[in-house]
């Protein structure tokens, strides 16, 4: 005898889901409707207006059970191909009724299942893909749009987002949910600091349009860097500014952390460069070098004054200077993606580590925690970012960084050649995290770090109430984004 579960697995489940059977935890479709009464207890009809967008075929579920990390896999009951804010509101209200968890999925570049939901519904944000308006200094854009698409549209008007992540094939909503760091952070703060309004759907399924620092500010604060806990972001008003034509990138290389850190502090304090990052690189002889990577944006006939820009800096291993068209520079990780895909390293496990370090203990951390744990095998074809930024530019409470005037972003973007290293590297991530936290550091919640609810609470510290109060008020059934593992009580 064929069970309903077998009917579902056979592919018949690709038919529209008519109702959810809470007792048997399965969909009622045209294929199996005859075996169960539509009005049986626990059978909750899917609202007709969203039925066609709820897909349950095996291929869609398998895709939604994976992400860029390729480390954890949780299979949902359905994927909801949202096309509008009101679609999402309808879906979430219905999910509350049937008791299914939901999470938004942008470009699925999370590394540890943060956007996955075991036995729930994944909201595929790709259908919210409209750039609604581009003004002189802002864009109003759907959360499913990729930053690369916004950059192109803004660029046609000579504009650019003020701060971007290094990689642009991420969704607007996915980056706003985590914070967004990049080379312009030392000029204007994180990506979330450059958003003036949002439209969100709360965990109760309520639509809140145009929330801002002055309108429903608690929900605004809880949404930016809020890891999808209180609400799903569906639209954002993002700040834009004039796009330069070119950028001159200077790479300054150091043999030791002391000189590197001293020059980084000079540069981050006087903020003389528009773009400012840095790296730790293997020297090929078993040791490490430190590289400052800074950039001056310009549009001819104006050109950067190299002598003034490099004054007072002392890289003992030399300086290189390269000019790039602005768009080419911003597309650099996209170009690397092509090579990594060709090398078969894009679809392998990526146990990334992402932390923020306290400035006072930077040299201690680098010497006693970071360098002993770093290995070329653990980085593979990836890289290690290490650069400071001014914390005074950061205004959104849930984007947690260390308290001092300067904090450091430290990210190991691992593309290991040997996937069997994954467990070892996850354990190293924990050591790196514990070493950072014991030195007043924090973590950036995009890394492969399995964090306990108590660690989350400690992470948020004095602003935990911003998250928890909003969660209790706007997602009282705790159905939103369980993959983050925050599990507030
Ligand atoms: C190659 C690569 C390069 C990266 N470079 C940078 C970088 O330079 N700077 C930086 O800051 N980060 C960087 N990241 C990390 C990246 O910003 C985050 O992983 C981001 O969340 C990914 O966006 P996404 O659209 O893929 O989100 P997803 O992976 O789809 O989602 C991530 C989390 O956000 C939630 N979410 C998604 N959309 C929404 C929404 N609309 N509303 C509420 N919650 C939502 C999801 O449920 C999930 O919990 C990089 C990641 C990769 C893989």
- Residue that the structure tokens 């796009």 belong to: 243
Beta strands in 330-419 (DSSP E): 353-358, 383-390, 406-413
Sorting pLDDT into bands at 50, 70 and 90, what band is 9?
very low
- How is domain 128-243 classified at the CATH fold level? 3.30.465
User: To the nearest whole number, what is the mean pLDDT of the chain?
Assistant: 95
Decide if pLDDT at 290 tops 70: yes
CA 78 – CA 17 distance, rounded (Å): 9
For ligand 1, the distance from its centroid to the CA atom of residue 109, given in whole angstroms, is: 5
Sorting pLDDT into bands at 50, 70 and 90, what band is 115?
very high
The CATH class given to the 246-453 domain equals alpha beta
For ligand 1, the distance from its centroid to the CA atom of residue 175, given in whole angstroms, is: 5
Domain spans in the chain, listed from the N-terminal domain onward: 4-126, 128-243, 246-453
Residue bearing the CA closest to ligand 1, atom 46: 115
Find, among 121, 122, 222, 109, the residue nearest to 172 by Cα. Answer: 109
Residue bearing the CA closest to ligand 1, atom 12: 180
Decide if pLDDT at 216 tops 60: yes
| 316 sits in which H/E element | none
The pLDDT assigned to 41 comes to 84
| 247 sits in which H/E element | strand 246-254
Peptide bond into 257 cis (omega under 30): no
Residue bearing the CA closest to ligand 1, atom 27: 174
CA distances from 42 to 13, 25, 36, 94, 96 (A): 19, 10, 11, 13, 13
Decide if pLDDT at 314 tops 70: yes
pLDDT in tens, 189-200: 999 999 999 999
pLDDT in tens, 254-286: 999 999 999 999 999 999 999 999 999 999 999
Integer-rounded Cα Rg, in Å, for the chain is 23
Cα–Cα–Cα angle for 129, 50, 25, rounded to 5 degrees = 120
Q: What are phi and psi of 305, to 5 degrees?
A: -95, 100
Atom of ligand 1 lying closest to residue 231 CA? 43
CA 176 – CA 164 distance, rounded (Å): 11
Sorting pLDDT into bands at 50, 70 and 90, what band is 320?
very high
Find, among 166, 195, 161, the residue nearest to 182 by Cα. Answer: 166
pLDDT in tens, 16-73: 899 999 999 999 987 777 666 667 888 999 999 999 999 999 999 999 999 999 999 9
Residues with CB under 6 A from ligand 1: 67-68, 103-110, 114-115, 125, 143, 165-167, 170-171, 173-175, 177-178, 180-182, 227-228, 232-233, 446, 481, 483-484
Q: What are phi and psi of 283, to 5 degrees?
A: -90, 0
The reply to whether CATH 3.30.200.20 applies to domain 4-126 is no
Sorted by sequence, the CB contacts under 8 Å of residue 302 that are 6+ apart come out as none
Rounded to an integer, the average pLDDT of 85-90 is 98
Rounded to an integer, the average pLDDT of 106-121 is 98
């Amino acid at each position: 005898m064929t069970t309903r579960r077998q009917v579902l697995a056979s592919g018949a489940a690709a038919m529209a889901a008519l109702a959810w059977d809470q007792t048997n935890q399965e969909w009622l479709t045209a294929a199996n409707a005859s075996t169960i009464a539509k009005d049986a207890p626990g059978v909750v009809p899917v609202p007709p207006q969203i039925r066609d967008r709820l897909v349950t075929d095996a291929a869609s579920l398998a895709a939604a059970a994976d992400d860029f990390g390729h480390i954890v896999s949780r299979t949902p009951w359905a994927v909801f191909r949202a096309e509008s804010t009101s679609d999402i509101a309808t879906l979430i209200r219905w999910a509350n009724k049937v008791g299914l968890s939901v999470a938004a999925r942008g470009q699925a570049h999370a590394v540890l299942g943060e956007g996955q939901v075991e036995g729930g519904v994944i909201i595929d944000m790709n259908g919210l893909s409209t750039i609604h308006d581009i003004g002189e200094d802002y864009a109003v854009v759907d959360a499913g749009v990729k930053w690369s698409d916004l950059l192109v549209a803004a660029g046609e008007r000579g504009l650019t987002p003020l701060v971007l992540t290094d990689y642009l094939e991420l969704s607007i909503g996915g980056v706003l949910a985590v914070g967004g760091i990049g080379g312009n952070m030392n000029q204007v703060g994180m990506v979330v600091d450059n958003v003036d309004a949002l439209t969100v759907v709360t965990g109760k399924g309520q639509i809140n349009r145009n929330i801002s620092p002055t309108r429903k500010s608690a929900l605004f604060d809880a949404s930016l860097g809020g890891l999808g806990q209180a609400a799903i972001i569906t639209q954002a008003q993002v700040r834009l500014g004039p796009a330069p034509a070119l950028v001159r990138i200077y790479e300054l290389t150091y043999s030791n952390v002391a000189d590197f850190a001293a020059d980084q502090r000079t540069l981050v304090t006087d903020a003389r460069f528009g773009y400012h990052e840095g790296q730790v690189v293997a020297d090929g002889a078993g040791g490490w070098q430190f590289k400052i990577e800074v950039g001056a944006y310009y549009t001819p006939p104006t050109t950067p004054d190299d002598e003034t820009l490099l004054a007072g800096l002392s890289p003992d291993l030399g300086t290189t200077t390269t000019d790039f068209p602005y768009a080419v520079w911003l597309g650099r990780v996209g170009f690397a993606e092509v090579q990594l895909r060709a090398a078969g390293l894009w679809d392998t496990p990526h146990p990334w580590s992402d932390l923020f370090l306290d400035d006072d203990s930077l040299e201690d951390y680098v010497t006693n925690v970071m360098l002993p744990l770093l290995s070329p095998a653990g980085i593979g074809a990836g890289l290690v970012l290490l650069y400071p930024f001014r914390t005074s530019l950061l205004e959104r409470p849930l984007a947690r960084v260390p308290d001092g005037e300067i904090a450091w972003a430290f990210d190991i973007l691992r593309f290991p050649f040997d996937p069997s290293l994954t467990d070892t590297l996850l354990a190293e991530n924990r050591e790196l995290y514990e070493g950072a936290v014991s030195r007043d550091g924090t973590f950036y919640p995009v890394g492969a770090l399995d964090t306990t609810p108590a660690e989350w609470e400690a992470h948020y510290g004095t602003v935990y109430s911003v998250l928890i109060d909003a969660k209790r008020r706007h997602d009282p059934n705790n159905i939103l984004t369980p993959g983050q593992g925050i599990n507030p009580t």
